[in-house]
Structure 1
Amino acid sequence: MKNIYIIGVGLIGGSLAIDIKKNDPNVVIHGISRKETTLNEALALNLIDKKATLDDVDKADLVIISIPVDATVKLLPTVLDKIQDSALVIDAGSTKSEICKVVENHPKRRNFLAMHPIAGTEYSGPSAAISGLFVGKTNIICEVEKTTFKLQEKALKIFEKIGMRIRYMNPEAHDKHIAYVSHLSHISSFMLGKTVIDKEKNERDIFDMAGSGFASTVRLAKSSPEMWTPIFKQNKENVIETLEEYINNLTQFKELMKQDDFEAIFNEMKNTNHIKDILNGIA
Protein backbone atom coordinates (compact mmCIF):
# COMPACT_ATOMS: atom_id res chain seq x y z
CA MET A 1 0.00 0.00 0.00
CA LYS A 2 1.99 2.93 -1.29
CA ASN A 3 -0.50 5.80 -1.37
CA ILE A 4 -2.20 6.36 1.98
CA TYR A 5 -4.74 9.12 2.46
CA ILE A 6 -5.63 10.19 6.00
CA ILE A 7 -8.78 12.22 6.46
CA GLY A 8 -8.34 13.98 9.78
CA VAL A 9 -4.68 14.35 10.74
CA GLY A 10 -5.14 14.80 14.48
CA LEU A 11 -4.21 12.63 17.45
CA ILE A 12 -5.33 9.29 16.02
CA GLY A 13 -4.84 9.98 12.31
CA GLY A 14 -1.49 11.65 12.90
CA SER A 15 -0.24 8.91 15.22
CA LEU A 16 -1.23 6.27 12.67
CA ALA A 17 0.67 8.26 10.02
CA ILE A 18 3.82 8.33 12.17
CA ASP A 19 3.84 4.61 12.89
CA ILE A 20 2.86 3.48 9.41
CA LYS A 21 5.63 5.62 7.91
CA LYS A 22 8.13 4.38 10.49
CA ASN A 23 7.42 0.77 9.54
CA ASP A 24 7.31 1.44 5.79
CA PRO A 25 9.32 4.55 4.75
CA ASN A 26 8.31 4.04 1.12
CA VAL A 27 4.65 4.90 1.66
CA VAL A 28 3.42 8.36 0.74
CA ILE A 29 1.08 9.86 3.34
CA HIS A 30 -1.47 12.33 1.97
CA GLY A 31 -3.42 14.49 4.40
CA ILE A 32 -6.99 15.70 3.92
CA SER A 33 -8.68 18.25 6.17
CA ARG A 34 -11.34 20.94 6.02
CA LYS A 35 -8.82 23.35 7.53
CA GLU A 36 -5.76 24.45 5.57
CA THR A 37 -4.05 25.37 8.84
CA THR A 38 -4.35 21.74 10.00
CA LEU A 39 -2.65 20.49 6.83
CA ASN A 40 0.08 23.11 7.11
CA GLU A 41 0.76 22.04 10.68
CA ALA A 42 0.75 18.35 9.72
CA LEU A 43 3.26 19.08 6.95
CA ALA A 44 5.49 21.07 9.27
CA LEU A 45 5.45 18.21 11.79
CA ASN A 46 6.25 15.68 9.03
CA LEU A 47 3.06 13.75 9.74
CA ILE A 48 2.15 13.86 6.05
CA ASP A 49 4.15 14.07 2.85
CA LYS A 50 1.57 15.90 0.76
CA LYS A 51 -1.70 17.78 1.01
CA ALA A 52 -4.71 16.33 -0.79
CA THR A 53 -8.44 16.78 -1.29
CA LEU A 54 -11.34 14.36 -1.22
CA ASP A 55 -11.28 14.14 -5.01
CA ASP A 56 -7.80 12.61 -4.84
CA VAL A 57 -8.84 9.42 -3.02
CA ASP A 58 -9.39 7.67 -6.35
CA LYS A 59 -5.60 7.22 -6.31
CA ALA A 60 -5.52 5.73 -2.80
CA ASP A 61 -4.46 2.26 -1.81
CA LEU A 62 -5.63 2.97 1.73
CA VAL A 63 -7.91 5.66 3.16
CA ILE A 64 -8.04 6.18 6.93
CA ILE A 65 -10.96 8.26 8.21
CA SER A 66 -10.23 9.78 11.62
CA ILE A 67 -12.76 12.55 12.13
CA PRO A 68 -15.76 13.01 14.48
CA VAL A 69 -18.23 10.14 14.14
CA ASP A 70 -21.09 12.29 12.84
CA ALA A 71 -18.85 13.55 10.04
CA THR A 72 -17.73 9.97 9.33
CA VAL A 73 -21.34 8.85 8.84
CA LYS A 74 -21.84 11.60 6.26
CA LEU A 75 -18.49 11.20 4.50
CA LEU A 76 -17.92 7.44 4.40
CA PRO A 77 -20.36 6.61 1.56
CA THR A 78 -18.82 9.37 -0.58
CA VAL A 79 -15.31 8.04 0.01
CA LEU A 80 -16.42 4.55 -0.99
CA ASP A 81 -18.00 6.01 -4.13
CA LYS A 82 -14.67 7.56 -5.15
CA ILE A 83 -12.10 4.84 -4.42
CA GLN A 84 -10.72 2.32 -6.86
CA ASP A 85 -11.90 -1.29 -6.59
CA SER A 86 -8.69 -2.49 -4.93
CA ALA A 87 -8.54 0.19 -2.21
CA LEU A 88 -9.23 -0.25 1.48
CA VAL A 89 -11.10 2.28 3.63
CA ILE A 90 -10.79 2.20 7.43
CA ASP A 91 -12.49 4.39 10.03
CA ALA A 92 -11.28 4.90 13.61
CA GLY A 93 -14.51 6.09 15.21
CA SER A 94 -15.44 5.47 18.85
CA THR A 95 -18.94 4.31 17.90
CA LYS A 96 -19.60 1.65 15.31
CA SER A 97 -23.33 0.92 14.85
CA GLU A 98 -24.35 3.98 12.82
CA ILE A 99 -21.12 3.95 10.83
CA CYS A 100 -21.57 0.31 9.82
CA LYS A 101 -25.26 0.80 9.12
CA VAL A 102 -24.78 3.72 6.73
CA VAL A 103 -22.76 1.57 4.31
CA GLU A 104 -24.41 -1.84 4.85
CA ASN A 105 -25.86 -1.79 1.32
CA HIS A 106 -23.08 0.15 -0.41
CA PRO A 107 -21.73 -1.58 -3.56
CA LYS A 108 -18.19 -1.27 -2.13
CA ARG A 109 -19.00 -2.40 1.41
CA ARG A 110 -16.37 -5.13 0.92
CA ASN A 111 -13.72 -2.36 0.71
CA PHE A 112 -14.50 -1.01 4.18
CA LEU A 113 -13.14 -2.14 7.55
CA ALA A 114 -14.68 -0.71 10.73
CA MET A 115 -12.20 -0.38 13.57
CA HIS A 116 -11.81 1.36 16.91
CA PRO A 117 -8.29 1.55 18.35
CA ILE A 118 -8.61 1.85 22.13
CA ALA A 119 -5.85 4.40 22.46
CA GLY A 120 -5.57 8.13 22.85
CA THR A 121 -4.88 11.06 25.11
CA GLU A 122 -6.87 14.09 26.18
CA TYR A 123 -5.19 16.21 23.51
CA SER A 124 -6.23 16.84 19.92
CA GLY A 125 -4.87 18.21 16.65
CA PRO A 126 -1.71 17.38 14.70
CA SER A 127 0.61 18.39 17.54
CA ALA A 128 -1.00 15.71 19.74
CA ALA A 129 0.17 12.89 17.45
CA ILE A 130 2.83 10.66 18.97
CA SER A 131 4.87 7.63 17.98
CA GLY A 132 4.01 4.32 19.62
CA LEU A 133 0.50 5.33 20.71
CA PHE A 134 -0.95 1.99 19.65
CA VAL A 135 1.70 -0.40 20.99
CA GLY A 136 -0.01 -3.05 23.08
CA LYS A 137 -3.41 -1.38 22.67
CA THR A 138 -6.58 -3.23 21.65
CA ASN A 139 -8.02 -2.55 18.24
CA ILE A 140 -11.67 -3.59 17.99
CA ILE A 141 -12.74 -4.64 14.49
CA CYS A 142 -16.44 -4.89 13.68
CA GLU A 143 -18.13 -6.92 10.93
CA VAL A 144 -14.80 -8.21 9.64
CA GLU A 145 -16.64 -10.83 7.58
CA LYS A 146 -18.06 -8.06 5.38
CA THR A 147 -14.59 -6.94 4.27
CA THR A 148 -12.99 -8.84 1.41
CA PHE A 149 -10.35 -11.25 2.69
CA LYS A 150 -7.40 -9.77 0.78
CA LEU A 151 -8.05 -6.35 2.28
CA GLN A 152 -8.52 -7.85 5.74
CA GLU A 153 -5.05 -9.36 5.44
CA LYS A 154 -3.50 -6.07 4.39
CA ALA A 155 -5.12 -4.23 7.28
CA LEU A 156 -4.08 -6.83 9.85
CA LYS A 157 -0.47 -6.63 8.68
CA ILE A 158 -0.50 -2.87 9.26
CA PHE A 159 -2.06 -3.27 12.72
CA GLU A 160 0.44 -5.95 13.65
CA LYS A 161 3.41 -3.83 12.61
CA ILE A 162 2.32 -0.91 14.78
CA GLY A 163 1.80 -3.17 17.78
CA MET A 164 -1.98 -3.46 18.11
CA ARG A 165 -3.83 -6.40 19.63
CA ILE A 166 -6.97 -7.38 17.72
CA ARG A 167 -10.42 -8.13 19.07
CA TYR A 168 -13.50 -8.85 16.97
CA MET A 169 -16.95 -7.67 18.00
CA ASN A 170 -20.28 -6.81 16.44
CA PRO A 171 -21.13 -3.07 16.32
CA GLU A 172 -23.99 -3.27 18.83
CA ALA A 173 -21.89 -5.10 21.45
CA HIS A 174 -19.02 -2.67 20.87
CA ASP A 175 -21.20 0.37 21.46
CA LYS A 176 -22.77 -1.11 24.60
CA HIS A 177 -19.47 -2.08 26.22
CA ILE A 178 -17.62 1.09 25.21
CA ALA A 179 -20.34 3.19 26.86
CA TYR A 180 -19.27 1.73 30.22
CA VAL A 181 -15.49 1.70 29.88
CA SER A 182 -14.94 4.87 27.87
CA HIS A 183 -17.94 7.11 27.39
CA LEU A 184 -19.01 7.10 31.05
CA SER A 185 -15.50 7.96 32.23
CA HIS A 186 -15.43 10.99 29.93
CA ILE A 187 -18.81 12.20 31.18
CA SER A 188 -17.69 11.70 34.79
CA SER A 189 -14.55 13.70 34.14
CA PHE A 190 -16.39 16.56 32.43
CA MET A 191 -19.02 16.75 35.20
CA LEU A 192 -16.45 16.59 38.00
CA GLY A 193 -14.61 19.46 36.34
CA LYS A 194 -17.88 21.37 36.00
CA THR A 195 -18.77 20.78 39.67
CA VAL A 196 -15.43 22.12 40.87
CA ILE A 197 -15.51 25.13 38.52
CA ASP A 198 -19.08 25.96 39.61
CA LYS A 199 -18.29 25.77 43.33
CA GLU A 200 -14.66 26.89 43.51
CA LYS A 201 -14.81 30.37 42.04
CA ASN A 202 -11.18 31.12 42.87
CA GLU A 203 -9.08 29.47 40.15
CA ARG A 204 -5.95 29.87 42.28
CA ASP A 205 -7.54 27.70 45.00
CA ILE A 206 -8.21 24.96 42.44
CA PHE A 207 -4.63 25.14 41.19
CA ASP A 208 -3.02 25.18 44.65
CA MET A 209 -5.18 22.51 46.26
CA ALA A 210 -5.69 20.07 43.41
CA GLY A 211 -3.58 16.97 43.93
CA SER A 212 -2.58 14.27 41.49
CA GLY A 213 -5.80 12.36 42.19
CA PHE A 214 -7.95 15.27 41.07
CA ALA A 215 -5.72 15.98 38.09
CA SER A 216 -5.87 12.37 36.87
CA THR A 217 -9.64 12.17 37.39
CA VAL A 218 -10.40 15.31 35.41
CA ARG A 219 -7.74 14.67 32.76
CA LEU A 220 -10.40 13.58 30.25
CA ALA A 221 -12.27 16.86 30.73
CA LYS A 222 -9.56 18.39 28.52
CA SER A 223 -10.88 16.30 25.61
CA SER A 224 -12.45 17.87 22.53
CA PRO A 225 -16.21 18.60 22.84
CA GLU A 226 -16.33 18.63 19.02
CA MET A 227 -15.35 14.97 19.07
CA TRP A 228 -17.25 13.77 22.10
CA THR A 229 -20.67 15.37 21.61
CA PRO A 230 -21.32 13.35 18.40
CA ILE A 231 -20.13 10.19 20.18
CA PHE A 232 -22.66 10.71 22.99
CA LYS A 233 -25.36 11.46 20.43
CA GLN A 234 -24.71 8.34 18.37
CA ASN A 235 -24.52 6.13 21.47
CA LYS A 236 -27.30 7.90 23.34
CA GLU A 237 -29.29 4.87 24.55
CA ASN A 238 -26.25 3.01 25.89
CA VAL A 239 -24.84 6.15 27.50
CA ILE A 240 -28.14 6.88 29.27
CA GLU A 241 -28.25 3.30 30.58
CA THR A 242 -24.73 3.59 31.99
CA LEU A 243 -25.49 6.99 33.52
CA GLU A 244 -28.56 5.61 35.28
CA GLU A 245 -26.49 2.85 36.88
CA TYR A 246 -23.72 5.29 37.80
CA ILE A 247 -26.17 7.77 39.34
CA ASN A 248 -27.77 4.93 41.35
CA ASN A 249 -24.37 4.04 42.78
CA LEU A 250 -23.62 7.68 43.64
CA THR A 251 -27.04 8.01 45.30
CA GLN A 252 -26.46 4.84 47.32
CA PHE A 253 -23.05 6.14 48.44
CA LYS A 254 -24.63 9.44 49.52
CA GLU A 255 -27.30 7.59 51.52
CA LEU A 256 -24.66 5.51 53.30
CA MET A 257 -22.89 8.76 54.21
CA LYS A 258 -26.12 10.21 55.61
CA GLN A 259 -26.64 7.07 57.67
CA ASP A 260 -23.05 7.18 59.01
CA ASP A 261 -22.68 3.62 57.70
CA PHE A 262 -18.95 3.79 57.09
CA GLU A 263 -18.56 0.06 57.44
CA ALA A 264 -20.73 -0.35 54.33
CA ILE A 265 -18.74 2.38 52.57
CA PHE A 266 -15.50 0.55 53.47
CA ASN A 267 -16.91 -2.70 52.06
CA GLU A 268 -18.07 -0.98 48.86
CA MET A 269 -14.59 0.44 48.28
CA LYS A 270 -12.88 -2.81 49.28
CA ASN A 271 -14.96 -4.79 46.80
CA THR A 272 -14.30 -2.22 44.10
CA ASN A 273 -10.54 -2.58 44.65
CA HIS A 274 -10.86 -5.69 42.46
CA ILE A 275 -10.78 -3.31 39.48
CA LYS A 276 -6.99 -3.02 39.90
CA ASP A 277 -6.67 -6.77 39.28
CA ILE A 278 -8.76 -6.50 36.13
CA LEU A 279 -6.80 -3.51 34.83
CA ASN A 280 -3.36 -4.72 35.87
CA GLY A 281 -0.88 -3.97 33.09
CA ILE A 282 -2.80 -1.10 31.51
CA ALA A 283 -0.67 2.05 31.42
Structure 2
Amino acid sequence: MNVFIIGLGLIGGSLSLDIQQEFKEATIYGIDTNEEHIEKALELGIIHEQAVISEMKNADIVIISIPVDVSLDIIYQTLNTVSDNCLVIDVGSTKEQICKALENHPKRRNFLATHPIAGTEFSGPNAALKNLFIGKTNIICEVEKTAFKLQEIALDIFSKLGMRIRYMDAKSHDKHIAYVSHLSHISSFMLGKTVIEKEKNERDIFDMAGSGFASTVRLAKSSPAMWTPIFEQNKGNVIETLNEYIQNLQQFKTLIEQNNFSEIYSEMENTNHIKQILNGIQEVSLQ
Protein backbone atom coordinates (compact mmCIF):
# COMPACT_ATOMS: atom_id res chain seq x y z
CA MET A 1 0.00 0.00 0.00
CA ASN A 2 1.54 3.29 -1.15
CA VAL A 3 0.55 6.12 1.18
CA PHE A 4 1.50 9.70 0.31
CA ILE A 5 1.27 12.28 3.08
CA ILE A 6 1.33 15.95 2.14
CA GLY A 7 2.24 18.03 5.18
CA LEU A 8 4.45 16.36 7.78
CA GLY A 9 3.33 18.19 10.89
CA LEU A 10 1.42 17.05 13.95
CA ILE A 11 -1.61 15.47 12.25
CA GLY A 12 0.09 14.22 9.08
CA GLY A 13 3.03 12.85 11.03
CA SER A 14 0.85 11.18 13.66
CA LEU A 15 -1.32 9.57 10.99
CA SER A 16 1.82 8.24 9.33
CA LEU A 17 3.15 6.70 12.55
CA ASP A 18 -0.15 4.99 13.31
CA ILE A 19 -0.65 3.74 9.75
CA GLN A 20 2.82 2.20 9.82
CA GLN A 21 1.95 0.56 13.12
CA GLU A 22 -1.34 -0.94 11.89
CA PHE A 23 -0.46 -1.61 8.25
CA LYS A 24 2.97 -3.19 8.13
CA GLU A 25 2.88 -3.42 4.34
CA ALA A 26 2.44 0.35 3.93
CA THR A 27 5.19 2.43 2.35
CA ILE A 28 4.93 6.07 3.42
CA TYR A 29 6.00 8.82 1.04
CA GLY A 30 6.28 12.36 2.36
CA ILE A 31 5.73 15.69 0.60
CA ASP A 32 6.42 19.01 2.30
CA THR A 33 7.58 22.43 1.10
CA ASN A 34 9.81 22.67 4.18
CA GLU A 35 12.98 20.69 3.49
CA GLU A 36 13.80 20.59 7.20
CA HIS A 37 10.47 18.85 7.82
CA ILE A 38 11.37 16.23 5.22
CA GLU A 39 14.77 15.61 6.79
CA LYS A 40 13.32 15.40 10.30
CA ALA A 41 10.50 13.11 9.16
CA LEU A 42 13.02 10.74 7.58
CA GLU A 43 15.19 10.87 10.70
CA LEU A 44 12.25 10.09 12.99
CA GLY A 45 10.91 7.32 10.78
CA ILE A 46 7.70 9.21 10.09
CA ILE A 47 8.16 8.59 6.36
CA HIS A 48 10.12 6.06 4.36
CA GLU A 49 10.88 8.22 1.33
CA GLN A 50 10.57 11.79 0.09
CA ALA A 51 8.29 12.29 -2.91
CA VAL A 52 6.86 14.92 -5.26
CA ILE A 53 3.30 15.43 -6.44
CA SER A 54 3.91 13.96 -9.90
CA GLU A 55 4.76 10.61 -8.29
CA MET A 56 1.30 10.33 -6.75
CA LYS A 57 0.06 8.54 -9.85
CA ASN A 58 1.30 5.44 -8.03
CA ALA A 59 -0.52 6.25 -4.79
CA ASP A 60 -3.19 4.10 -3.19
CA ILE A 61 -3.95 6.72 -0.53
CA VAL A 62 -3.09 10.42 -0.27
CA ILE A 63 -3.55 12.29 3.00
CA ILE A 64 -3.50 16.10 2.78
CA SER A 65 -2.61 17.78 6.07
CA ILE A 66 -1.61 21.36 5.30
CA PRO A 67 -3.00 24.84 6.11
CA VAL A 68 -6.45 25.30 4.63
CA ASP A 69 -5.51 28.34 2.55
CA VAL A 70 -3.22 26.25 0.36
CA SER A 71 -4.96 22.90 0.64
CA LEU A 72 -7.55 23.52 -2.08
CA ASP A 73 -4.96 24.00 -4.84
CA ILE A 74 -3.07 20.95 -3.63
CA ILE A 75 -6.25 18.84 -3.52
CA TYR A 76 -6.98 19.85 -7.12
CA GLN A 77 -3.44 18.92 -8.21
CA THR A 78 -3.71 15.67 -6.32
CA LEU A 79 -7.04 14.65 -7.83
CA ASN A 80 -5.73 15.54 -11.28
CA THR A 81 -2.71 13.29 -10.72
CA VAL A 82 -3.93 10.18 -8.92
CA SER A 83 -5.44 7.06 -10.47
CA ASP A 84 -9.17 6.33 -10.50
CA ASN A 85 -8.71 3.90 -7.58
CA CYS A 86 -6.84 6.25 -5.25
CA LEU A 87 -8.39 7.57 -2.04
CA VAL A 88 -7.63 11.25 -1.30
CA ILE A 89 -8.28 12.36 2.30
CA ASP A 90 -8.26 15.95 3.55
CA VAL A 91 -7.95 16.45 7.32
CA GLY A 92 -8.31 20.23 7.58
CA SER A 93 -10.36 22.16 10.14
CA THR A 94 -12.77 23.78 7.68
CA LYS A 95 -14.92 21.93 5.19
CA GLU A 96 -17.64 24.01 3.53
CA GLN A 97 -15.42 26.00 1.17
CA ILE A 98 -13.40 22.97 0.09
CA CYS A 99 -16.41 20.73 -0.46
CA LYS A 100 -18.17 23.40 -2.51
CA ALA A 101 -15.11 24.05 -4.66
CA LEU A 102 -14.69 20.33 -5.42
CA GLU A 103 -18.34 19.45 -6.05
CA ASN A 104 -17.92 19.33 -9.85
CA HIS A 105 -14.42 17.88 -10.03
CA PRO A 106 -14.32 14.79 -12.31
CA LYS A 107 -12.70 12.80 -9.50
CA ARG A 108 -14.89 14.04 -6.65
CA ARG A 109 -15.72 10.39 -5.93
CA ASN A 110 -12.05 9.86 -4.96
CA PHE A 111 -12.13 12.56 -2.29
CA LEU A 112 -13.11 12.17 1.37
CA ALA A 113 -13.51 15.28 3.53
CA THR A 114 -12.56 14.53 7.14
CA HIS A 115 -11.60 16.35 10.31
CA PRO A 116 -9.96 14.34 13.11
CA ILE A 117 -10.59 16.22 16.36
CA ALA A 118 -7.18 15.56 17.83
CA GLY A 119 -3.90 17.32 18.33
CA THR A 120 -1.82 19.50 20.59
CA GLU A 121 -0.58 23.07 20.49
CA PHE A 122 2.70 21.95 18.91
CA SER A 123 3.57 21.72 15.22
CA GLY A 124 6.09 20.17 12.86
CA PRO A 125 7.38 16.58 12.64
CA ASN A 126 8.68 16.65 16.21
CA ALA A 127 5.08 17.06 17.39
CA ALA A 128 3.94 13.77 15.80
CA LEU A 129 2.63 11.24 18.34
CA LYS A 130 1.80 7.56 18.17
CA ASN A 131 -1.75 6.58 19.16
CA LEU A 132 -2.90 10.19 18.98
CA PHE A 133 -6.28 9.27 17.54
CA ILE A 134 -7.43 6.56 19.94
CA GLY A 135 -10.90 7.52 21.17
CA LYS A 136 -10.90 10.76 19.17
CA THR A 137 -13.82 11.82 16.99
CA ASN A 138 -13.27 12.03 13.24
CA ILE A 139 -15.94 14.04 11.42
CA ILE A 140 -16.63 12.95 7.85
CA CYS A 141 -18.49 15.36 5.58
CA GLU A 142 -20.48 14.53 2.44
CA VAL A 143 -19.55 10.84 2.71
CA GLU A 144 -22.17 9.95 0.10
CA LYS A 145 -20.11 11.75 -2.57
CA THR A 146 -17.15 9.39 -2.08
CA ALA A 147 -17.03 6.04 -3.92
CA PHE A 148 -18.28 3.31 -1.61
CA LYS A 149 -15.22 1.07 -1.98
CA LEU A 150 -13.01 4.04 -1.06
CA GLN A 151 -15.22 4.79 1.94
CA GLU A 152 -14.63 1.22 3.10
CA ILE A 153 -10.86 1.64 2.83
CA ALA A 154 -10.97 4.88 4.82
CA LEU A 155 -13.23 3.48 7.53
CA ASP A 156 -10.97 0.47 7.94
CA ILE A 157 -8.01 2.78 8.51
CA PHE A 158 -9.90 5.02 10.92
CA SER A 159 -11.18 2.01 12.84
CA LYS A 160 -7.72 0.51 13.25
CA LEU A 161 -6.43 3.89 14.44
CA GLY A 162 -9.13 3.92 17.14
CA MET A 163 -11.22 6.81 15.87
CA ARG A 164 -14.92 7.40 16.53
CA ILE A 165 -16.79 8.47 13.39
CA ARG A 166 -19.40 11.22 13.08
CA TYR A 167 -21.11 12.13 9.82
CA MET A 168 -22.07 15.73 9.15
CA ASP A 169 -22.74 18.11 6.29
CA ALA A 170 -19.94 20.57 5.64
CA LYS A 171 -21.92 23.68 6.60
CA SER A 172 -22.95 22.24 9.97
CA HIS A 173 -19.38 21.11 10.63
CA ASP A 174 -17.98 24.61 10.16
CA LYS A 175 -20.68 26.16 12.34
CA HIS A 176 -20.23 23.72 15.23
CA ILE A 177 -16.44 23.66 15.10
CA ALA A 178 -16.39 27.46 15.38
CA TYR A 179 -17.83 27.09 18.89
CA VAL A 180 -15.85 24.15 20.23
CA SER A 181 -12.49 24.79 18.59
CA HIS A 182 -12.05 28.08 16.80
CA LEU A 183 -13.45 30.24 19.62
CA SER A 184 -11.26 28.40 22.14
CA HIS A 185 -8.15 29.30 20.16
CA ILE A 186 -9.17 32.95 19.79
CA SER A 187 -9.90 33.19 23.51
CA SER A 188 -6.53 31.67 24.34
CA PHE A 189 -4.63 33.95 21.95
CA MET A 190 -6.34 37.08 23.29
CA LEU A 191 -5.85 36.12 26.94
CA GLY A 192 -2.17 35.61 26.20
CA LYS A 193 -2.04 38.98 24.42
CA THR A 194 -3.72 40.74 27.35
CA VAL A 195 -1.27 39.30 29.88
CA ILE A 196 1.78 39.98 27.70
CA GLU A 197 0.76 43.61 27.33
CA LYS A 198 0.20 43.95 31.08
CA GLU A 199 3.50 42.23 31.84
CA LYS A 200 5.36 45.12 30.20
CA ASN A 201 4.55 47.21 33.27
CA GLU A 202 4.29 44.51 35.90
CA ARG A 203 7.33 42.28 35.54
CA ASP A 204 6.31 39.79 38.20
CA ILE A 205 2.93 38.90 36.69
CA PHE A 206 4.19 35.58 35.30
CA ASP A 207 5.62 34.64 38.69
CA MET A 208 2.03 34.49 39.91
CA ALA A 209 0.71 32.51 36.96
CA GLY A 210 -0.49 29.08 38.02
CA SER A 211 -1.69 25.95 36.28
CA GLY A 212 -5.06 27.55 35.49
CA PHE A 213 -3.41 30.26 33.44
CA ALA A 214 -1.09 27.78 31.74
CA SER A 215 -3.94 25.49 30.70
CA THR A 216 -6.08 28.39 29.49
CA VAL A 217 -3.38 29.92 27.27
CA ARG A 218 -2.01 26.56 26.08
CA LEU A 219 -3.65 26.99 22.69
CA ALA A 220 -1.95 30.37 22.23
CA LYS A 221 1.18 28.39 21.39
CA SER A 222 -0.53 27.07 18.25
CA SER A 223 0.75 27.94 14.79
CA PRO A 224 -0.51 31.29 13.40
CA ALA A 225 0.26 29.99 9.89
CA MET A 226 -2.33 27.28 10.43
CA TRP A 227 -4.96 29.22 12.37
CA THR A 228 -5.14 32.49 10.44
CA PRO A 229 -6.44 30.76 7.28
CA ILE A 230 -8.92 28.77 9.38
CA PHE A 231 -10.39 31.98 10.80
CA GLU A 232 -10.50 33.45 7.29
CA GLN A 233 -12.29 30.47 5.74
CA ASN A 234 -14.76 30.23 8.60
CA LYS A 235 -15.13 33.98 9.04
CA GLY A 236 -18.94 34.11 9.20
CA ASN A 237 -19.26 31.45 11.88
CA VAL A 238 -16.31 32.81 13.83
CA ILE A 239 -17.84 36.30 13.95
CA GLU A 240 -21.15 34.85 15.12
CA THR A 241 -19.50 32.94 17.96
CA LEU A 242 -17.37 35.94 18.91
CA ASN A 243 -20.46 38.16 19.13
CA GLU A 244 -22.09 35.73 21.55
CA TYR A 245 -18.89 35.34 23.57
CA ILE A 246 -18.33 39.11 23.79
CA GLN A 247 -21.94 39.57 24.88
CA ASN A 248 -21.46 37.08 27.72
CA LEU A 249 -18.21 38.75 28.78
CA GLN A 250 -19.89 42.15 28.76
CA GLN A 251 -22.78 40.82 30.84
CA PHE A 252 -20.34 39.34 33.36
CA LYS A 253 -18.50 42.66 33.58
CA THR A 254 -21.79 44.52 34.12
CA LEU A 255 -22.77 42.18 36.96
CA ILE A 256 -19.46 42.88 38.69
CA GLU A 257 -19.91 46.63 38.24
CA GLN A 258 -23.38 46.31 39.78
CA ASN A 259 -22.06 44.25 42.72
CA ASN A 260 -24.53 41.56 41.71
CA PHE A 261 -22.44 38.68 42.96
CA SER A 262 -25.40 36.43 43.65
CA GLU A 263 -26.16 36.48 39.93
CA ILE A 264 -22.49 35.86 39.17
CA TYR A 265 -22.67 32.81 41.43
CA SER A 266 -25.74 31.59 39.55
CA GLU A 267 -24.04 32.16 36.19
CA MET A 268 -21.03 30.10 37.23
CA GLU A 269 -23.16 27.41 38.88
CA ASN A 270 -25.23 27.01 35.73
CA THR A 271 -22.08 26.84 33.63
CA ASN A 272 -20.75 24.05 35.88
CA HIS A 273 -23.09 21.83 33.88
CA ILE A 274 -20.26 21.70 31.34
CA LYS A 275 -18.59 19.15 33.66
CA GLN A 276 -21.38 16.65 33.05
CA ILE A 277 -21.22 17.20 29.31
CA LEU A 278 -17.44 16.74 29.17
CA ASN A 279 -17.53 13.72 31.48
CA GLY A 280 -20.11 12.17 29.18
CA ILE A 281 -17.88 12.76 26.18
CA GLN A 282 -14.91 11.16 27.98
CA GLU A 283 -16.98 8.12 28.96
CA VAL A 284 -18.12 7.60 25.36
CA SER A 285 -14.52 7.94 24.15
CA LEU A 286 -13.39 5.18 26.51
CA GLN A 287 -16.06 2.73 25.38
The two structures share one fold, judged by TM-score above 0.5:
yes
Question: 1:84-138 deviations in whole A, cap 9, x for unaligned?
Answer: 1100000000000011111110000000000000001000000000011100000
Question: 1:242-281 deviations in whole A, cap 9, x for unaligned?
Answer: 0000000000000000000000000000000000100115
Deviation at 1:204, TM superposition (A): 5.6
Alignment match, 2:212: 213
Deviation at 1:206, TM superposition (A): 3.7
Alignment match, 2:104: 105
Deviation at 1:59, TM superposition (A): 0.7
Counterparts of 1:139 and 1:26 in 2: how far apart (Å)?
24
Question: 1:29-82 deviations in whole A, cap 9, x for unaligned?
Answer: 000001111100000010000000111111100000000011111211111000
8 Å contact 1:90–1:113 — kept in the other structure? yes
Question: 1:227-253 deviations in whole A, cap 9, x for unaligned?
Answer: 000000000000000000000000000
Q: Does 1:196 align with 2:195?
A: yes
Q: Does 1:14 align with 2:10?
A: no
Alignment match, 1:52: 51
- The 5 A counterparts of 1:29-68 are 29-68=28-67
Letter in 2 for 1:67: I
Question: Relative to 1, partners in 2 of residues 1:46 and 1:202: Cα closer, same or farther, differing over 3 Å?
Answer: farther
Counterparts of 1:206 and 1:256 in 2: how far apart (Å)?
26
Q: Secondary structure in 2 aligned to 1:5?
A: strand
Letter in 2 for 1:34: T
Alignment match, 1:3: 2
8 Å contact 1:90–1:112 — kept in the other structure? yes
Counterparts of 2:205 and 2:50 in 1: how far apart (Å)?
43
Alignment match, 2:25: 26
8 Å contact 1:94–1:231 — kept in the other structure? yes
Alignment match, 2:159: 160
Counterparts of 2:104 and 2:92 in 1: how far apart (Å)?
20
8 Å contact 1:116–1:141 — kept in the other structure? yes
Give the structure-1-normalised TM-score.
0.98
8 Å contact 2:89–2:112 — kept in the other structure? yes
Number of residue pairs aligned between Structure 1 and Structure 2: 282
Q: Secondary structure in 1 aligned to 2:162?
A: coil
Alignment match, 1:262: 261
Deviation at 1:202, TM superposition (A): 6.2
Deviation at 1:26, TM superposition (A): 1.3
Spell out structure 1 runs of 4+ moving beyond 4 A: none
Deviation at 1:207, TM superposition (A): 3.3
- The 5 A counterparts of 1:121-270 are 121-201=120-200, 205-270=204-269
Q: Secondary structure in 2 aligned to 1:279?
A: helix
8 Å contact 2:178–2:234 — kept in the other structure? yes
Question: 1:182-227 deviations in whole A, cap 9, x for unaligned?
Answer: 0000000000000000111168624321100000000000000000
Counterparts of 2:130 and 2:35 in 1: how far apart (Å)?
23
Which runs of 5 or more structure 2 residues have no equivalent in the other structure?
none
Counterparts of 1:267 and 1:273 in 2: how far apart (Å)?
10
Counterparts of 1:99 and 1:266 in 2: how far apart (Å)?
44
Which runs of 5 or more structure 1 residues have no equivalent in the other structure?
none
Alignment match, 2:73: 74
Counterparts of 1:234 and 1:277 in 2: how far apart (Å)?
32
Question: What's the RMSD between the two structures over aligned residues?
Answer: 1.1
Letter in 1 for 2:245: Y
Question: 1:137-178 deviations in whole A, cap 9, x for unaligned?
Answer: 000000000000000000000000000000000000000000
Counterparts of 1:47 and 1:272 in 2: how far apart (Å)?
42
Counterparts of 1:166 and 1:265 in 2: how far apart (Å)?
38
Question: Relative to 1, partners in 2 of residues 1:195 and 1:58: Cα closer, same or farther, differing over 3 Å?
Answer: same
Counterparts of 1:191 and 1:51 in 2: how far apart (Å)?
38
